[in-house]
Amino acid sequence: MSTPSAGSDLPAPTPLPYRRPSGPGRALVDGWVVAKRNLIKIKRVPEILVFVLISPIMFVLLFAFVFGGAIDPGDGVGYREFLIAGIFAQTVVFGATFTGAGLADDMAKGIIDRFRSLPMSPAAVLVGRTTSDVVYNVLSLVIMALTGLLVGWRIREGFLDALLGFGLLLVFAYAISWVMAYIGLVVPSVEVINNASFVVIMPLTFVSNAFVPLESFDGVLRQLVQWNPVSALTQASRDLFGNVSASAAAPDVWSMQHPALYTLVWVLGILLVFVPLSVRQYSRAGG
Amino acid sequence: MTDMIRATGLRKSFKEVQALDGLDLAVPEGQVLALLGPNGAGKTTAVRVLTTLLRPDSGSAIVAGVDVLADPDGVRARIGLSGQYAAVDEHLTGLENLEMVGRLYGLGGAAARRRAAELLDRFGLTEAGNRPSKTYSGGMRRRLDLAGALVAAPPVLVLDEPTTGLDPASRVQMWEVIRELVSGGATLLLTTQYLEEADRLADDIVVIDHGRAIAQGTADELKAQTGGERVEVVLAEPSMVGAARAVLAEVASGEIELKAGGRELTAPVAGGLAALGHTVSGLQQAGIAVLDLGLRRPTLDDVFLSLTGHASEAPAGSPGDPDSAETEEALR
Ligand SMILES: Nc1ncnc2c1ncn2[C@@H]1O[C@H](COP(=O)(O)OP(=O)(O)O)[C@@H](O)[C@H]1O
Ligand SMILES: [Mg+2]
């Protein structure tokens, strides 16, 4: 019999047969291992890639040809040109759904338990997931940009400015990924995540200047649109791509006067709140 | 003896359910402990606490010399877990799965790769090693999951129902793998609903029900608790009961029982085969025809039944005994 008794000892901690990296470097090293695992999935399930690439193309074409003629942004820039940055913003923000759905799937399949039983950084799974989703977003941005160029969109500022514009889009989407990561851990169901993301992201992108000029909103709605970070993101991208006419002055609110800065403030705020929140939720997942 | 796993007074409740209700466990170094209990007994909850996946409401646990609550990361570096449901990534190949686990334990790229190949070989998965694990059978997936627990050659292994859901052939294969593992010196905690499995693999068995240990011992010790061997006779003619009872009385060490149906007699015996032989000749001399006659050793199913008053939910479970309530009384 081996009931716990005073007679039996406890061993000294068994020595480890290998050396593990420690500190914040470990979150990155382990995070990269997890990101690679997520990226392999793109290779194995090419349908995902098709979806990732087709839907942005569809968006660009739909908006350009269906609404393209109907709405006049009224400042000398054609609607198509006005629209593209909005579609970029909407698409990359929607891309965050992948983060939530991926984590929910891993929770449901017990993979998160496997990870949590390993001596890895508790941030690694989230770092890895959000990182691999940046790759998805890069792919869809490239495809959308090419489609945009085909239908008449042009980069009218410098190439470097345009890169900054893409960078800003990716950084903002990255922050939203951490929000969806949190939701994915709290509600571990892929279906629920897809619906939840729709409910959150649709209003966020439609109550903005992504598809309709700011000037066409009134009253309270106007206030919401002005301070909506997606509006700032879109405005900043338009500025950086040179998709605003020189004559039109930016709306007279701070968020629209400094859209890139305002966007970055949001990015920082979201990360400061949702990184610790998500890591904590991960650490206590399932119990 | 040194305890590689020791848990004291573990309690955990989920809303109204008391999943663990003061569980104590100890597994000495190099030994196998089976945590045996029906569905919902609290096995998985115990495993999750010991492997740092779940914080208990109260109680403490030391695994491989490291406190589970104070240094969970230290525990994770020293254990290998194979959970109740195989947690392998279906899109990764077997090799990629193991390589990833190796990297996350902290092995370098080359070392992780080498170790992965070695384990695939050991588990008979080399051929399938470059296929996504989605294409694997249940048994293969389970073995891959177990291989994942071994990547870092941890001193303590925890397997939660390693054979549940496997077909009989895969189960036997898994038993072999597990036995081989332990012969390598690892300390193993395994949970099971199969009494036979605990009997085959474990040095020591803790029977758990409603989050509490209700019995502990070797398979033999547990069997002894149910009162040892019995001779069972099924008569061709119910009218011969009286004569048969007289024959059995010569070998019985306790009360002879007549079972429902009126043609089956059971007598507890001390002498085993000798008692059986005596019964056979006695019945022949008296000219009593029998349909069936045998020496019945208690299985662990009987143990479970006698301890809990209800049959275990293992498929191999024995039919309910009318005398179980009585035995339960006697044991308390
Ligand atoms: N996460 C949970 N939430 C609520 N109840 C749970 C949870 N996990 C386990 N339980 C309950 O705790 C009891 C013990 O469960 P478990 O440890 O899984 O048993 P076993 O592994 O022996 O089948 C069961 O009644 C189960 O329903
Ligand atoms: Mg279980």
- Give the pLDDT band (50/70/90) at residue B327: very low
- Terminal CA-CA length for chain B: 30
Q: Which ligand is nearest to the CA of B160?
A: 2
Q: Which atom of ligand 1 is nearest to the CA of B15?
A: 4
Cα B62 to ligand 1 centre (Å): 22
Please state the rounded mean pLDDT for residues B241-251.
86
Identify the bridge partners of residue B208 per DSSP, sorted by sequence position.
B213
Per-domain residue ranges of chain B? 3-78+154-224, 229-296
Which of B17, B85, B161, B304 most suits a substitution to test ligand 1, by most atoms within 8 Å of the C-beta? B17
pTM of the model as a whole: 0.82
Token code pair at residue A84: 């593209």
Identity at A91, one-letter amino acid code: T
Find out whether the beta carbon of B53 lies less than 6 Å from any atom of ligand 1.
no
The architecture CATH gives domain B229-296: 2-Layer Sandwich (3.30)
Contact residues on chain A for B100, CB-CB shorter than 8 A: 33-34, 36-37
The ipTM, to two decimals, is 0.86
Task: Give, in order, the Cα–Cα distances in Å from B22 to each of A1, A6, B168.
Answer: 18, 19, 35
User: What are B177's two structure tokens?
Assistant: 């793998």
Q: Phi first, then psi: give them for residue B158, nearest 5 degrees.
A: -130, 120
What pLDDT was estimated at residue A4? 47
Q: Exposed/middle/buried for B329, CB within 10 Å: 0-12, 13-18, 19+?
A: exposed
The residue with greater pLDDT, B298 or A268, is A268
Which burial class, exposed, middle or buried, applies to B311 when counting CB atoms under 10 A from its CB (0-12, 13-18, 19+)?
middle
The reply to whether residue B1 touches residue A11, judged by beta carbons under 8 angstroms, is no
Tell me the CA–centroid distance for residue B211 and ligand 1, in Å.
10
Tell me the pLDDT tens digit for each residue of B69-128.
Answer: 999 999 999 999 998 888 899 999 999 999 999 999 988 899 999 999 999 998 899 999
Q: What does the pLDDT look like over A182-235, one tens digit per residue?
A: 999 998 788 998 888 888 888 999 999 988 888 888 889 999 999 999 999 999
Whether the predicted pLDDT of B60 surpasses 90: yes
| Per-residue pLDDT reduced to its tens digit, A23-73 | 778 889 999 999 999 999 888 988 888 877 888 888 888 877 877 666 655
* Band of residue B260 on the pLDDT scale cut at 50, 70, 90: confident
Q: Which atom of ligand 1 is nearest to the CA of B193?
A: 22
pLDDT greater than 80 at residue A76: no
pLDDT tens per residue across span B291-306: 888 888 776 677 777 7
Using the mean position of ligand 1's atoms as its centre, give its distance from the Cα of residue B106 in Å: 32
Percentage of residues of chain A with pLDDT beyond 90: 48
Among A8, A10, A40, select the one facing B65 at the smallest CB separation: A10
CATH number of B3-78+154-224: 3.40.720.10, 3.40.50.300, 3.40.710.10, 3.40.50.11540?
A: 3.40.50.300
Number of residues in chain B: 332
